[in-house]
Amino acid sequence: MDVVRGSRVLALGLPCSDVVLEATASKVVPEQLTFSADHQWVPVDPLDALNSFGQRVHVWQVLDVAGEQTEVDLGWYQLDSWKEQENGSVAVVAYGLGIRLDEDPMVWPSSPRRGARLLEEAQRLAGDHLPVILDPGVENVVLDDGLAWGRSRTEALRDLCLSLGLVSRVGVDGYLHLARHRTDSRVIDAIYTERDLLLAAPRTGKREGRANRQTVVGSSGSGEDATKFAATAELTTSPFDADYGVVREITEISGTTSRVGVQAAASRAQSDAAMRATTRSLEIVADPRIELGDVIGVKTSTGELVVGRVDGYSLPVSTGGSMRVDLEVLAW
């Protein structure tokens, strides 16, 4: 673990313990890193290595496999808080670099310039905080005229991505990546079985309140001249028929200015909901390669094959042991 502040290196190879990296896709800033350091690292001055005045940590995990060491880059995190423990050590909490966008709302609501393309507008919304990259398969399309955003950079980027069927994430390189929302269960990044890394995949049953009505609300213009649009896409096939009841998810976006655009966003949301069969939590031998949005397959000892999109995980970085992986199970 290395610590920097701006271009200044504050610590190289920081001695640390109890390092855990957790991520939850539904959070505004998905990644949280926690760790401990010895008492000599307890901050005293604002610019000390483990204080929270812009200090960032770059984390690697070193794996020893059959005597050969491999480094896995786990990315960058901004220090958020620290607390001195009874034994004199310091416990630190850090978040993914998306926190830099969330902490710096724009002064005024804004709109893309006429004829702006996706990459240009995403970079404008991200400001100087993070460079933006379009992942393979994402076209640098010209945006519709009349788009309008509020002050929140994270909400504006969310709406921009939602309107185009994309997701945004901060990669281990510290760049903001725009990628296609993965719903295809035919393309699998990795398969886990009980002969290798899978430890447990218990089956559970619970009414999760999954939405079978997707309503998207959008608007064009502002004030009294604003025109509002709403579109609903329904999932009516069994088991989400009338006897299931109505569970409605309402999403409000500013990334579209027409009824057609709102209907397209609602249809994409319904299609994604139809692909998600249920949720499943796995226990595997810690695998630092897993990222949010990956599609993985799991084959149990009973022959059951589960394919799902990674929605969250808890990775014990320094202690080894088992890792929890939460999946949105995809229908075949």
Q: CATH number of the domain that 115 lies in?
A: 3.55.50.10
Provide the pLDDT for residue 276.
67
Residue at 24: amino acid letter: T
For Cα atoms 211, 28, 281, give the angle at the middle one, nearest 5 degrees. 55
Pick from 96, 124, 142: which residue ends a domain?
96
Higher-confidence position of 207 and 250: 250
> What does pTM read for this prediction?
0.86
Query: What is the SS3 assignment for 18?
Result: strand
Asked whether the predicted pLDDT for residue 146 surpasses 80, the reply is: no
CA distance readout (Å), 105 to 5, 41, 102, 117: 22, 32, 7, 22
- The two tokens of residue 81 are 């808080």
Higher-confidence position of 200 and 216: 200
8-12 LR contacts (CB < 8 Å, sep 24+): 10/47, 10/48, 10/49, 10/55, 11/49
Asked whether the predicted pLDDT for residue 257 surpasses 70, the reply is: no
Higher-confidence position of 206 and 17: 17
Asked whether the predicted pLDDT for residue 16 surpasses 60, the reply is: yes
- Is the domain of 263 the same as that of 301? no
The answer to which of 38-42, 218-222, 310-314 has the lowest mean pLDDT is 218-222
Show the domain range for 282: 190-206+277-330
124 contact partners, CB below 8 Å, separation of at least 6 = 112, 116
- Is the domain of 173 the same as that of 127? yes
Q: Tens digits of per-residue pLDDT, 34-63?
A: 999 999 999 999 999 999 999 999 999 998
Compute the average pLDDT of residues 154-174: 91
CA distance readout (Å), 237 to 212, 308, 311: 9, 21, 25
Higher-confidence position of 281 and 221: 281
Rounded distance between C-alpha atoms, residue 78 and residue 3, angstroms: 10
Q: How many residues does the chain have?
A: 332
Provide the pLDDT for residue 64.
85
Q: How confident is the model at residue 332 (pLDDT cuts 50, 70, 90)?
A: low
Q: How confident is the model at residue 137 (pLDDT cuts 50, 70, 90)?
A: very high
The percentage of the chain sitting over the pLDDT mark of 70, rounded to a whole number, equals 94
Provide the pLDDT for residue 274.
63
Strand partners, 217: 230, 252
Q: Is residue 23 exposed (0-12), middle (13-18) or buried (19+ Cβ within 10 Å)?
A: buried
- Is the domain of 256 the same as that of 297? no
Query: Across all residues in the chain, what is the average pLDDT?
Result: 89
The percentage of the chain sitting over the pLDDT mark of 90, rounded to a whole number, equals 61
- Is the domain of 86 the same as that of 114? no
Higher-confidence position of 190 and 267: 190
- Is the domain of 284 the same as that of 194? yes
Residue pair 60/158 in contact by the 8 Å Cβ criterion: no
199 contact partners, CB below 8 Å, separation of at least 6 = 283, 284, 285, 322
Pick from 258, 274, 290: which residue ends a domain?
274
Compute the average pLDDT of residues 190-198: 91
Q: CATH number of the domain that 308 lies in?
A: 2.40.30.150
**Among the listed residues 310, 318, 308, the one whose alpha carbon sits nearest the alpha carbon of residue 286:** 318
Report how many domains make up the chain: 4
For residue 105, whether the previous peptide bond is cis, meaning omega lies within 30 degrees of 0, is no
